[in-house]
Every structure is written in C-alpha cells, then in structure tokens.
Amino acid sequence: MPRYLVQRLLQAVFVLWAAFTTSFVVLYLLPGDPVSIMASGGGDTNDVSPEQIAELKQVYGFDKPLIESYGDRLWHALRGDFGISVQSGDPVTRLIADQLPATLQLTSAALLLAVVLGAGVALAATYTRRRWLRQTLLSLPALGVSAPTFWVGLILVQLVSFRWGLLPAIGNEGFRSVILPAITLAVPTSAVIAQVFAKSLRTALAEPYAQTALAKGASRRRVHFGHALRNAAIPPLTVAGVVVGNLLAGSVVVETVFSRTGIGRVTATAVTAQDIPVVQGLVVFGALAFVLANLAVDLLVPLLDPRITAAAPAVAR
C-alpha cells in the first residue's frame, strides 16, 4: 500500500504544480501588462500614477526577470500565499477560506444528492422488469446532462419558490436555502453517475458469475445487490471523482442564479474584474479539490475490488 500511496501523492503534487504554472503562464504572460490590468481593476480608468504602477510591480515581483518572478510566486504559493486581491485588498488565501464553507455545504449536499439520485435511477432501471419503466429511467440521464444548469435553477425557483412558496429562492440562510441550489447542481452530475452505473450494472448482470448465483437459487434481488452492485461500483466511483470538478464549475452558475455567496461567486467576480491573483488562487484551489477527490477514489477502489492492490493499481489494469 505505501508505494501505491506515495505514487499517488507524487502525482497529486505534480498536478498542483502544473495547475499553478499553467495559470501563471496564461494569466501573467499573455497579452497586456498584468500590473496595468490590476491597477485599472479591469476598468478603463487611467487614473493610476506611474509611481503606483512601479510600486505594484515591486509588490508582485514584476520588476524582476520573468523566471525570478515565477520562482518568487511559486515560493509564496507553497506557503499558501497567493498574493492580494486587487479588488478587495484581502489576501487571496483568506478570501477563499472565508467563502469555502458556503460552497462546501452546497457541493457536498449536491454530491450526496447526485450519488443517491444517480445510483437510484441506475439500480431501478436495471432491476425493474417493466420495459416501459426501464426505458423511461434510462432516458433520464441524457435529459439531465443536456438541460443547462441555469435553466434548471430558474425553473425550480419559478415553481418551488415563487408559485408554491415552499423554499427560499435566494440567499445563504440555513439548511432550507441549500436545497434548491443543491438539486440544481446535482442534476447533471447525477445524470452522469446514473449513465455510467446503469451500464456497469448491466455488464455485471450479464457476467457468468451472475448466472452462477442464479443457479444457486438466489433471488434477483440477491444477485442484483449481493453480487452485481459491488462489481459495478468502480466505474461510477471513478466518475464521481472526476465530477467534483464539474461541481465546482457548476457552483459558479448556481451561486449566481440563487444569489448565494461562495467560491463560485468569487470566481465570477474575479474573472469579470480580471483580479489575477484571485483567479490564480482559484485555479490552484480547483486543482487541489480535484486531486483530493481522486486520491480518495484511488484509496477506495482497492477496498471494493481485491484484484486491485498496491502491486497493481487501477491504472495498470
């Protein structure tokens, strides 16, 4: 196990470094003078004095040669310092940390919902003997993936909040306010999970070992939940690791639609205002979330399938 773990950790570190470097290159080296953009705050006001620009350059290390300033930024980033937000003047790290709980609440609720919903649809679709029900259930994922997130959000707000007045339409206050945004965010994710899980379940049920179980006299339920479920769980689990990234991306739209505070909102405003240190901090944060989720999946997979062990990790199979 340790070697497997070390390998995974090294991969994770590499991904983080690559995310940092890429965002550095893209944000600081592409057209325009980053300091002028920062100073102007994304607007077109030209009331920044040359002295201020020189000062900013010094603060951000842009008075030094490129490679040195990269090294400087990387060194700071390693200690958790991604600079200072141009807009608010707060340290980027604190800005993200402040907004994290709200987004974590939203995304984890959405993930839980997506897993329950996705797995439910997949299990029901493969278990039912009614053809029409199976076909209906299996067509849901395609619908869920193709419906735009903001549209689902608006429909929900329209119906549940405005027409029926059941749940608040906007805001961050309390558990009730999470429900609608979490559902909105969960729809596309659950669709992907349902799709992958239904397929892997069907494959598992067609395997000869399912036949062996039936020949023992096992009921369909026993074969489905006792044999096929665990065998079929790995593909959707792997996908779940990947969709964590989608959840973060989705939070940008969902938090905007439901007027919630959180990482998504910070992202939206930072991008509009070209608040480069914040954007870079968010890119690296996104990479971190993604890496952690996949690390968790990699550690879970050997527990599900004894064939995948430290000696032969999932990727080698």
Partner 1 sequence: MTTDTAPLLSIRGLRVSYRAGDGAPPAVRGVDLDIAPGEVVALVGESGSGKSTTAHAVIGLLPPGGRMDGGRVLFEGTDLATAGERELRARRGRDIGLIPQDPMVSLNPVQRIGRQVAEVLLIHGLADRASAPAEAVRILGQAGLPDPGVRARQYPHELSGGMRQRVLIAIAVAARPKLVIADEPTSALDVTVQRRILDHLQTLTRQAGTAVLLITHDLGVAADRARRIAVMSEGEIVETGPVRQVLTAPRHPYTRRLLASAPSMATEPVRVRARAQARARALPRAQALPRAQARVRVREVAAGEPAAEGGAPVGEGLDSAEGLVVGEGLDAAGGLDAAEGLVVTEGLDAAGGLDGAGGPLVVAEGLVKEFTPRGRARACAVDGVDFTIRRGESFALVGESGSGKSTTARMVARLTDPTEGRIRFDGQDITALSGAALRRLRRRVQLVHQNPYSSLDPRRSVADAVTEPLRAFRVGDRAARLRRAAELLDRVALPAATLRRRPGELSGGQRQRVAIARALALGPDLVICDEPVSALDVSVQARILELLAEFQRDLGLSYLFISHDLAVVRQIADRVGVMRGGRLLETGTTDEVFASPSHPYTKELLAAIPGGRHAVPARSA
Site map (CB under 8 A) of partner 1, residues 187-206, x = contact: -------------------x
Site size for partner 1 (CB under 8 A): 24
Stretch in the footprint of partner 1 (CB under 8 A) among 5-13, 60-68, 178-186, 217-225 = 217-225
* 113 contributes a contact to partner 1 by CB under 8 A: no
List beta partners, residue 91: 84
User: Would you say 211 or 272 has its CB closer to partner 1?
Assistant: 211
In the block, tokens 């000696």 appear at: 311
User: Would you say 122 or 232 has its CB closer to partner 1?
Assistant: 232
| Alpha carbon separation from 203 to 3, 167, 184, 214, 231 (Å, rounded) | 32, 40, 30, 16, 9
* 292 contributes a contact to partner 1 by CB under 8 A: no
* 307 contributes a contact to partner 1 by CB under 8 A: yes
Distance in Å, CB of 306 to partner 1, minimum:
5
Which of 245, 282, 277 shows the shortest CA–CA distance to 263?
282
List beta partners, residue 84: 91
Kindly tell me which residue out of 183, 192, 198, 213 binds partner 1, with binding defined by CB under 8 A: 213
d(CA 30, CA 85) in angstroms, rounded, equals 19
Q: What is the DSSP string of 109-133?
A: HHHHHHHHHHHHHHHHHHH---HHH
Stretch in the footprint of partner 1 (CB under 8 A) among 56-64, 70-78, 102-110, 223-231 = 223-231
Kindly tell me which residue out of 212, 242, 299, 315 binds partner 1, with binding defined by CB under 8 A: 212
Residue type, 61: G
List beta partners, residue 288: none
In the block, tokens 């040669």 appear at: 65
* 304 contributes a contact to partner 1 by CB under 8 A: yes
* 217 contributes a contact to partner 1 by CB under 8 A: yes
Distance in Å, CB of 111 to partner 1, minimum:
24
* 2 contributes a contact to partner 1 by CB under 8 A: no
> In sequence order, what are the residues at sequence separation of 6 or more whose Cβ sits closer than 8 angstroms to the Cβ of residue 95?
85, 88, 266, 278, 281
What is the footprint of partner 1 within residues 228-287 (CB under 8 A)?
A: 230-231
* 227 contributes a contact to partner 1 by CB under 8 A: yes
- Backbone phi, then psi, for 273, in 5-degree steps? -90, 5
> In sequence order, what are the residues at sequence separation of 6 or more whose Cβ sits closer than 8 angstroms to the Cβ of residue 199?
235
Stretch in the footprint of partner 1 (CB under 8 A) among 94-102, 189-197, 224-232, 271-279 = 224-232
Which residues in this chain contact partner 1 in the complex, by CB under 8 A?
Answer: 206-209, 211-219, 222, 226-227, 230-231, 304-307, 311-312
